[in-house]
Structure 1
Amino acid sequence: MIAGYTASTASFAQTQSPSPRTVAAAVVATTLASGIDMQNADLSVRPQDDFYNYVNGTWLKKTEIPADKSSWGAFYELRENSLNQLHTIVDAVSAEKDLTPGSNKQKIADLYASYMDEPALETLGIKPLGAEFAKVDALKDKKQIAGLIAHLNSIGVNAPFDIGIHQDAKDSTRVIADLGQSGLGLPDRDYYLKADDAKLKDTLNKYRAHIETMLTMSGDKAAKKNAASIVALETALAKVQWTKVENRDPVKTYNRVELAQLQTLAPHFNWNDYLSDADLKDKVTYLVISQPSYIKGLDKIIQSTPLPVWKAYFKWHVLSSFASDLSKEYVDQNFAFKGTVLRGIPQNEPRWKRGMNVLEAGIGEGLGQLYVEQFFPPENKARMEKLVGNLIAAYHQSIDGLDWMGPDTKKQAQKKLSTLMLKIGYPDKWRDYSSLVIKRDDLVGNLIRANEFEYKRNINKLGKPVDRTEWGMTPQTVNAYYNPEFNEIVFPAAILQPPFFNANADDAVNYGGIGAVIGHEISHGFDDQGSQYDEIGNLRDWWTKEDHEKFAVKTKALVDQYSAYSPVPGYKVNGELTLGENIADNSGLAIAYKAYHLSLDGKPAPVIDGLTGDQRLYLGWGQVWRGKVRDAQAIVYVKTDPHSPPRFRGNGTLENQPGFYSAFDVKPGDKMYLPPEQRVIMW
């Protein structure tokens, strides 16, 4: 989704840890020099008992989740900062006169204007979707469903399956088309299938009522009947879909099917029309089907479900996909369910913020180019490159000492690490939006054309060399990722800000923040998923059987540890779903600790505001994960998110770090103490 100092007291800091009370007293006077903001701390909590509350307790007590948010914390604060920066840019662009037609600035200004013109949208009501509804109404028999799915894929509307264009996991020199399950209006199959879960059952009932309301607003005389049929159809789809855990397996989800074999997989589906309308014909000789049994099940569901039900289903998803871009009654009803019911959010975001999200989806890199020019100084990139160099050096050293890798696997691991590609800040070449048409008075048309532009851009990769310079996130995205198919780590400019990266702070806090994030992303190349890809991105098992078995013992312990955590009563973290991210948190922080010590180049770490370098590193880690989540959103996360909740990412990771025990003098009897034999040490 990653300099040397001298101080007369540093030698003491490296060999001893202050008592809990000494630490608490010291942090009150913390200044920017340390990069630690301990005004958020709760000094009544011992760090050895609950480090997360120790670092963030006061913040947790005094902070309310904003009315327009489902969650709040360090990530979200940074996202708000990014939105305000983007708002400044867009307002300035919108104020410019005589923008060059066809330029990125013209498209940014006009797309934003089309979204912000609420009076025009009120006049239009449901009319912008008329042409799409007509395409659904034109269905005469089920053979035509294939072509409609292809069209919906191209304009960004939810359909029973979707298409992804990416590198072939078995041949990293090729670009392939991948079909994967989709088509549900709720976040996960469990919302349809867990009849014994009162909250999920209630959400399903409210979803049915929401569909009925929206269809009634749109003039559907049989809204109640159609809503029930749509939910029944989605439930049938949910029954044949794979679980989130099953979908984590890159081997099981790689199923090459030659075009001639597609009819055997789904004999009643009109593959010829789909391939033609999806613009795949003559571009591919095979597809990768992520969930073959789902496609087989879908084929049967298409046959058993009456055509009028399919028409109602498709019209519903067209409406649902664009409801937030229509008149106020649709926006409000859409938010009442997707925002309030699903995620617990009382109030919608201000329209200008939603407008930034529209720009992000429509012309994200064009906006990102302007963002980088104003808000990403070159010196930040240079310092990051140095920090990453130390992290990679720490990984190189650690590989040789791993107890779960044998000599042959270590050799391959070193090779993979040596070929890791690093992308920081922004792409070397920017996306060309010259063929994208944006009109000042056509919001839904703009969004459809933007989706079609992106679809065609991806389809046009087929049959061409893999472009390894491409980015999967825009520079203004507060996130980072590892791509196993490219064997690369990518860090957009927007995450390289406090508390993750503080250019004015001592390096310790940065290693605990962005250093651990970078270490986290690198480790994905060696976790239970990423380790199945080799150094050039091919899905190839380069581990020995014995190494797999040793690694499985460690990962089983992590699954058990995190499966015991419960963010909401009655709902526990899925340790198997979150395994890859928990491995990465564990590994990333361990490597950040080692890399920080490498950065000192044999010199003692400075003591700043009474805090040792190691203490500042772990405090930096703790403050990154401060966050609060509404219960409804927490349930969505438990069902769908491969990341553990913030509290457990903060504390759970630390319990396995030997350096943490030394830095804060954690001993038997302390609540965060785990006996050495129970600690999961990956790196």
Structure 2
Amino acid sequence: MTDVLPSGLETSEFSSDIRPQDDLYRHVNGAWLARTEIPGDKARWGSFHLLAEQAEKDVRTIIEESQDAEDGTLARKIGDLFASFMDTERIAAAGVSPLADTLAQIDAIDDVSAFLRTVGEYDRDGRAHLIGLYIEPDPGNPERYVPFLVQSGLSLPDESYYRLDTFEGTRASYRAHLERLFALAGVADAATQADRSIAIEGELAAHHWDNVRSRDAVATYNLKTWDDIQSLVGVDLSPWREAVAPTNPGAFAEAVVYQPSFLEGLGTLLTADRLDDWKAWLRAQVVHAAAPYLTEEIVQENFSFYGTELTGVPTIRERWKRGVSVTEGALGEAIGKVYVERHYPPTAKAAMDELVANLIEAYRQSITDLEWMTAETRERALAKLDAFTPKIGHPEVWRDYSTLMIDRDDLFGNVRRAAIFEHDRNVDKVGAPIDRTEWYMPPQMVNAYYNPLMNEIVFPAAILQYPFFDASRDAAANYGGIGAVIGHEIGHGFDDQGSRYGGDGKLEDWWTDADRAAFEERTAALISQYDELVPEGLDPEHHVNGALTIGENIGDLGGLGIALKAYELSLGGAEAPVIDGLTGVQRLLLSWAQVWQQKSREAETLRLLTIDPHSPNEFRCNQIVRNIDAFYRAFDVTENDALWLPEESRVTIW
């Protein structure tokens, strides 16, 4: 007889006065929500953050031990960078002197060409970003890297903060903050400088695309030659190009322009009569970039706006936590290698391999059985599924940091050198073979992602823990936790944008018109559902943006639905055990609710409703199960229950 494993659910925490049929999220998390206070240094607090907090402590131990490592070793670089951030006596003694050369250089700018050259130089070392730049495989030819040029230049979360009445108070607070920050940094005529900088930001924001439009994989794929880009802007950008890519002069022979109208609009602003405004904008950029590494007064001023005003967080994180973040940002994989050795058991990889295999097989069966999809598109969808590459735990090839110089006595220099190292590493990809071993997250990050250009799903080691995963508990909870996360990431390959990429990562239309229309009919219904959702305690105008969140909502819907099928496959025809009085499907759904446990400050909730493509966690739980027939069967949900959704209104895609 097979031993019955524990359920892995905190059943004693479930709220008996809240029925799962009425509110699955609060049935599972209600007691926790009632007693939990968000830590003073957090905007949100929940299952992801609890794991991230533990990973942060584990990383702190690794970093602090590295401070005594042998000179010249990679470990010593880790320790020295952290030590340079923690040396508050040296930082206080330096005051704002680390900014002196930068501000003098800005003062000396005498024409638009010099401005663009300086902006390019500052982009490279992380001091300023006028045109966003990153390097990825070309969606039209994913066997080569190309630069992507993206709208940038704003200091508020997105363009809507500059135009909506909702954010009038935020704009006023930002204006006051910038004047104070300029004064603390020693910038002359702080009030005028703040006004000039904000004027430029507002005009830039008017040329930004909104977040929904910027999600469109087709609209944002605009491959152009450098001459095309010059014509688009109407200004000679070569000084910027030369300064931003000195290690790879040919990198910009072609580039993808994400939002062409942004570059057009930018060109109309890059005129000689606006030079003083642009210099004020550049001062704001460099002071903001430097603020976390300057005096305590400047650090607190910066936090008062970006922490408290924008997200409602009352208390800045302890300095060691900020030091860990800085060190991870520069040397993440070097730390990750040690983290994996200490905290990632080999047994986890084998269990995850089985989970992923079952999830992919469940998707295969689901796609094969779809009634709304034609045979032609189904064949291409299955081919894409077969081409998926799972990456689990950690990279097979670790990043080489041998050329990055770290000086224990030079925090400012360390930050700039680390930014240059990472920037050049990326720019130098252009013209080189595609590196399919690269990871975009370190192993100690509690997250996961799907990359459509590589057609890969990636699960860092740190997320492979309770409540998402525990090899010692019954499988149902794992399928409701990490299994649904795996299903979610696979689902991104078939969401409203991921479905526009083929199995080789190429952006192409591989759907028949009839299938695309059937798909969009279903997604439109899901958008309408989410547009009606308002987080608890907010006014009705603060509802979820169904169009912004549709990709993640498709991922959630497919992820949970496929996790249920994969769990059934894992049973191999056997009947699921009843544990703690709960069936296997009930445990899976309760586990799903458990992983979305979270509290959020109101300011943070409002910010995320504006810019985040993910729905609030309560809806990631409840609205998804309302569309899942298995939920109705598992808990005998009837039309008298709050979570009931008429069968004809339920959306099933995959």
Question: If the TM-score is normalised by the length of the shorter chain, which range does it land in?
Answer: over 0.9
Q: Deviations over 1:286-306 (max 9, x none)?
A: 111111111000011122762
Bigger CA drift: 37-46 or 166-175? Answer: 37-46
1:544 and 2:548 correspond: no
Partner of 1:598: 569
1:574-613 → structure 2 map (5 Å cutoff): 574-613=545-584
Partner of 1:334: 302
1:233-632 → structure 2 map (5 Å cutoff): 233-268=200-235, 270-279=236-245, 280-303=248-271, 306-567=274-535, 568-569=538-539, 570-632=541-603
CA contact (8 A) 2:135 2:148 kept: yes
Q: What amino acid is aligned across from residue 229 of structure 2 in structure 1?
A: L
CA contact (8 A) 1:5 1:605 kept: no
TM-score after normalising by structure 1: 0.93
1:654-673 → structure 2 map (5 Å cutoff): 654-673=625-644
Alpha-carbon distance in structure 1 between the residues aligned to 2:521 and 2:647: 15
- CA 1:661–1:432 in structure 2 vs 1: closer, same or farther (change >3 Å)? same
CA contact (8 A) 1:523 1:588 kept: yes
Q: Which structure ranks higher in relative contact order (CA pairs < 8 Å, sequence separation ≥ 6)?
A: 1
SS in 2 for 1:166: strand
Partner of 1:151: 121
Match of 1:80 among 42, 53, 63: 53
Match of 1:223 among 176, 186, 190: 190
Match of 1:42 among 15, 19, 30: 15
Q: What amino acid is aligned across from residue 272 of structure 1 in structure 2?
A: S
Distance apart, 1:104 and its partner CA: 1.6
SS in 2 for 1:306: helix
Distance apart, 1:5 and its partner CA: 5.2
Number of aligned residues: 649
Q: Deviations over 1:260-282 (max 9, x none)?
A: 222211122x2222222122532
Q: Deviations over 1:414-454 (max 9, x none)?
A: 10000100100000010000000000011111011000000
Partner of 1:173: 143
CA contact (8 A) 1:501 1:510 kept: yes
Q: Deviations over 1:274-333 (max 9, x none)?
A: 222122532342111111111000011122762121111101111101201111011110
Q: Deviations over 1:149-201 (max 9, x none)?
A: 2112211234221111110000011100111001111001111101x32xx11
CA contact (8 A) 2:147 2:251 kept: no
Q: Deviations over 1:221-250 (max 9, x none)?
A: 311111112111111111111000000011
CA contact (8 A) 2:111 2:272 kept: no
1:68 and 2:35 correspond: no
CA contact (8 A) 1:562 1:574 kept: yes
SS in 2 for 1:571: coil
Distance apart, 1:6 and its partner CA: 7.5
SS in 1 for 2:132: strand
Alpha-carbon distance in structure 2 between the residues aligned to 1:323 and 1:222: 19
- CA 1:595–1:62 in structure 2 vs 1: closer, same or farther (change >3 Å)? same
CA contact (8 A) 1:39 1:58 kept: no
1:633 and 2:599 correspond: no
CA contact (8 A) 1:255 1:289 kept: yes
Q: What amino acid is aligned across from residue 264 of structure 1 in structure 2?
A: S
Alpha-carbon distance in structure 2 between the residues aligned to 1:524 and 1:591: 13
Match of 1:92 among 54, 57, 65: 65
Bigger CA drift: 152-161 or 594-603? Answer: 152-161
TM-score after normalising by structure 2: 0.98
Alpha-carbon distance in structure 2 between the residues aligned to 1:68 and 1:180: 31
Alpha-carbon distance in structure 2 between the residues aligned to 1:266 and 1:90: 45
Q: Deviations over 1:629-650 (max 9, x none)?
A: 1111111101110000111101
SS in 1 for 2:20: coil
Partner of 2:615: 644
Distance apart, 1:537 and its partner CA: 0.4
CA contact (8 A) 2:388 2:456 kept: yes
CA contact (8 A) 2:449 2:457 kept: yes
SS in 1 for 2:418: helix
Q: What amino acid is aligned across from residue 76 of structure 1 in structure 2?
A: H
Partner of 2:199: 232
Q: What amino acid is aligned across from residue 543 of structure 1 in structure 2?
A: W
Alpha-carbon distance in structure 2 between the residues aligned to 1:341 and 1:38: 38
- CA 1:255–1:606 in structure 2 vs 1: closer, same or farther (change >3 Å)? same
CA contact (8 A) 1:258 1:286 kept: yes
Partner of 1:27: none
Q: Deviations over 1:561-582 (max 9, x none)?
A: 1111112323111100000000
Q: Deviations over 1:342-382 (max 9, x none)?
A: 10000011111111110111111001011001000111011
Distance apart, 1:84 and its partner CA: 1.0
Partner of 1:112: 82
CA contact (8 A) 1:6 1:603 kept: no
Q: What amino acid is aligned across from residue 49 of structure 1 in structure 2?
A: D
Question: Which runs of 5 or more residues in structure 1 are unaligned?
Answer: 8-31
Distance apart, 1:77 and its partner CA: 0.6
SS in 2 for 1:680: coil
1:188 and 2:158 correspond: yes
Alpha-carbon distance in structure 1 between the residues aligned to 2:132 and 2:105: 18
Partner of 2:91: 121
1:211 and 2:186 correspond: no
Q: What amino acid is aligned across from residue 113 of structure 1 in structure 2?
A: A
CA contact (8 A) 2:212 2:548 kept: yes
Q: Deviations over 1:538-571 (max 9, x none)?
A: 0011000000100011101110111111123231
Q: What amino acid is aligned across from residue 548 of structure 2 in structure 1?
A: L
Alpha-carbon distance in structure 2 between the residues aligned to 1:283 and 1:184: 25
- Superposition RMSD in Å: 1.3
Q: What amino acid is aligned across from residue 64 of structure 1 in structure 2?
A: E
Identity rate, percent: 45
Partner of 1:163: 133
Q: What amino acid is aligned across from residue 397 of structure 1 in structure 2?
A: Q
